[in-house]
């Protein structure tokens, strides 16, 4: 997850949207959408 945060802190990428896909999130045992956002540390920028 550090790589994502490193990218988010680059001035050249400021203002560019970030799309995170939770593939197979509907499968048993998968993280929920909210859990994925929390696990990645992206709750500060989530719009669901």
26 is an annotated ligand-binding site residue: yes
Q: Which residues are CB-contacts of 14 (< 8 A; sequence separation ≥ 6)?
A: none
24 is an annotated ligand-binding site residue: yes
6 is an annotated ligand-binding site residue: no
Q: Which residues are CB-contacts of 44 (< 8 A; sequence separation ≥ 6)?
A: none
3 is an annotated ligand-binding site residue: no
Point out the annotated binding site for GTP.
Answer: 23-26
* Binding-site positions: 23-26
């Amino acid at each position: 997850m550090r790589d994502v945060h490193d990218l988010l802190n680059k001035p050249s990428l400021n203002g560019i949207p970030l799309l995170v896909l939770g593939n197979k999130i509907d499968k048993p045992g998968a993280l929920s959408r909210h859990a994925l956002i929390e696990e990645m540390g992206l709750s500060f920028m989530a719009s669901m």
